[in-house]
Amino acid sequence: MRCAPGDLHDLAAEVLTDSPAHERQLFDLRLDRWFADLHDGLAAVFPAAAVGPLERRLIGTAARAFADRDPELKELDLRRTLDDAWICDPGMIGYATYADRFAGTLAGLGDRLDYLSELGVSYLHLMPLLEPRPGDSDGGYAVADYRRVRADLGDTGDLRALATALRGRGISLVLDLVLNHVAEEHAWAAAARAGDAHYQDYFRLYPDRAEPDAFERTLPEVFPDFAPGNFTWNAEMQRWVWTTFNAFQWDLNWANPDVLVEFAEIILFLANLGVEVVRLDAIAFLWKRLGTNCQNQPEVHALTQALRAVSRIACPALAFKAEAIVGPTDLVHYLGRGVHHGKVSDIAYHNSLMVQIWSMLAAQDVRLAAHALRAIPPIPASTTWVTYVRCHDDIGWAIDDADAAAVGLTGWGHRAFLSDYYSGSFPGSPARGLVFQENPATGDRRISGTAASLCGLDVALQAGPVPGRVGAGLVDAALARVLLGYAMVFGWGGIPVIWMGDELGLRNDPDWASEPGHEEDNRWAHRPRMPWDVAEERQDGATVAGRMFTALRHFATVRASLPYLDATVEAEIPELADPGILPVLRRHPVGVMLQLYNVTAGWRPWPGHLLHAHGLADGVDALSGTLVQIGLDGNLWLAPHASLWIVPRG
């Protein structure tokens, strides 16, 4: 271990003079433990001469945050250091929602915690709630002040109280940290506009089109529809401002060490309020390099490593979650590959699994998914995925051309099929998604929609209860598709996250465009307000809400009881026996678990000998609690859209 130099220990001792000896000792031990990560991360980004002074600034910040940290949070730090794979526990069940849309205010949310506990939630992602710019704020992703809570939701006192109440129930609070950009109303941007050179250096500003044009040659567009291009002219400064997302979201200049220090302070501020996971928003975009798409650059990982080392020293209970919605080969780097192994984010979104679930459901074929998912390299054992069916964003078809070609498809053709299918224009498709950000230049179309609407619930309910139960049959089929997707994300290993509304089978909000600022952004169709009257039906098995809620709660309960689902063990896709059935194998030291998912609308066979091969021929399906039944033809038959979680008989 490369220990920290003496001057950093002296600095810490100075800041912590009033702290008890055991705390000073703990801080020193952590400083030594994480120093190399900090130093190497900084040295990979900044000039050698800048590294030492930067270390002093960051360690000073860490020591001050540590001194201010609540005793209860310090105890959590110790617990988490004793169990650093807490995020891999099968008891982790996530839920994501907007505080205002769910419960009005943070205090109101505090009154709704029984609902979350009933569902089995242990991880709550509250969508952006720090002070945004007024008007359209990209759903809060244009932050004007990182140290204030959105006034209509409450204040930092309410946030702290909520975090404490959640922690009391074993629920970890997850908040967004928007670190690629700030709102143009943020004080840094305002100072830059006023001509302050110090703050101008926080941004990427250009006097003319020369550099922007050079960058644009290889830059994709994130919002080609409502924010084309990546630069915005600012008349006040007479400068082009780098704006990857909307014109009002100004990209930060992470090559400036001051930006790093600012964000280290913000992270520790949030951690000291009781936030247990920070979601590093749009992290792929932090570093810009000419001639590239300016995503996934190596410096992104070095910067994350430095920030994580600071937070591990001051508040090790805090986990980092990378929001990198990128291709599979780039994705695993966010959990640490090579020199960054185990040193960057602890959690990342499994975007590939999400996309492949929708692909399997539409194509009723698992071959592409099996190929693509097998190709994802293993991740460090202390890290894990957020697995999800859909989130607050649109779904982009991250289907790799080479993966598609390997199974006889074309990437372009399959992506076009998925857009057609999920927007309902493909003949016979029951899906009712909305096309988001159609890009005529690339032919790209992304999709918005709730899980239920993408699975055909609107069409099923419109069909009504006609003679012969056609309507009910369609509803059954739509819910079976949603539940198949959720069974996969609950079964994969990682933290399955339910996006608010899916647990009640909510469909797209027909009034999504009626709120000021939302007109252009149909992602609001799948960000509904919580209809508490519908939630009241959650115990009633005759309703869609009741069926969905009961099924997801059941998945959560079963999952928590299965050690095979501990995410320190990787999911594998074994040999396929039928193109309609996805097998997922989890070889845990306590035993083997085989999951089988029938993605088709017909009955499908799974050969009994493949169960024998894993010692599971007399296993139990943990989801239904029934014994596995191999038929006289030697096969296990799976009903349409069935999910089986087969474990050894106990």
Of 41, 90, 94, 139, the one binding ligand GLC by CB under 6 A: 139
Minimum distance, C-beta of residue 464 to ligand GLC, in the bound complex (Å): 36
d(CA 362, CA 148): 44
Residue 595 DSSP SS3: strand
HSE (side-chain half, CA atoms, 13 Å) at 245: 26
Minimum distance, C-beta of residue 249 to ligand GLC, in the bound complex (Å): 6
Minimum distance, C-beta of residue 272 to ligand GLC, in the bound complex (Å): 24
346 vs 393, which CB is nearer to ligand GLC? 393
- Does position 608 interact with ligand GLC (CB under 6 A)? The reply is no
- 289: closest CA among 278, 298, 277? 298
The one segment of 76-84, 136-144, 491-499, 590-598 that binds ligand GLC by CB under 6 A: 136-144
Q: Which is it for strands 604-607 and 635-638: parallel, antiparallel or unpaired?
A: antiparallel
Q: Are 522 and 512 in contact (CB under 8 A)?
A: yes
Residue 2 DSSP SS3: coil
Q: Are 313 and 62 in contact (CB under 8 A)?
A: yes
- Does position 400 interact with ligand GLC (CB under 6 A)? The reply is no
Q: Which is it for strands 495-499 and 181-183: parallel, antiparallel or unpaired?
A: unpaired
281 is catalytic: yes
281 vs 566, which CB is nearer to ligand GLC? 281
- Does position 184 interact with ligand GLC (CB under 6 A)? The reply is no
CB-closest chain residue to ligand GLC: 141
30 vs 279, which CB is nearer to ligand GLC? 279
Q: Which is it for strands 571-572 and 581-588: parallel, antiparallel or unpaired?
A: antiparallel
Name every residue whose Cβ is closer than 8 Å to that of residue 245 and which is 6 or more positions away in sequence.
Answer: 138, 141, 180, 181, 222, 223, 227, 282
Binding mask 317-356 for ligand GLC (x = CB under 6 A): ------x---------------------------------
Residue 15 DSSP SS3: helix
Applying the rule CB under 6 A, the residues between 271 and 290 that interact with ligand GLC are: 281-282
Residue 123 DSSP SS3: strand
User: E strands along 440-580, which residues?
Assistant: 444-448, 495-499, 571-572
* DSSP 8-state assignment for residue 395: B
Applying the rule CB under 6 A, the residues between 214 and 253 that interact with ligand GLC are: 245
- Does position 393 interact with ligand GLC (CB under 6 A)? The reply is yes
Name every residue whose Cβ is closer than 8 Å to that of residue 385 and which is 6 or more positions away in sequence.
Answer: 347, 348, 349, 350, 353, 379, 492, 493, 494, 495, 567
Q: Which residues, in sequence order, are bridge partners of residue 620?
A: 627, 647
Residue 45 CB neighbours (<10 A):
22
Minimum distance, C-beta of residue 282 to ligand GLC, in the bound complex (Å): 4
d(CA 607, CA 594): 13
- Does position 40 interact with ligand GLC (CB under 6 A)? The reply is no
323 is catalytic: yes
Of 34, 66, 141, 397, the one binding ligand GLC by CB under 6 A: 141
d(CA 633, CA 619): 18
- Does position 132 interact with ligand GLC (CB under 6 A)? The reply is no
55 vs 138, which CB is nearer to ligand GLC? 138
Minimum distance, C-beta of residue 130 to ligand GLC, in the bound complex (Å): 12
Minimum distance, C-beta of residue 108 to ligand GLC, in the bound complex (Å): 23
- Does position 178 interact with ligand GLC (CB under 6 A)? The reply is yes
The one segment of 97-105, 134-142, 474-482, 497-505 that binds ligand GLC by CB under 6 A: 134-142
141 vs 490, which CB is nearer to ligand GLC? 141
Set 281, 403, 502, 509: catalytic member: 281
Cα Rg, the chain, nearest whole Å:
25
Set 323, 393, 394, 403: catalytic member: 323
Residues contributing to the site for ligand GLC (CB under 6 A): 138-139, 141, 178, 245, 281-282, 323, 393
* Residues forming the active site: 281, 323
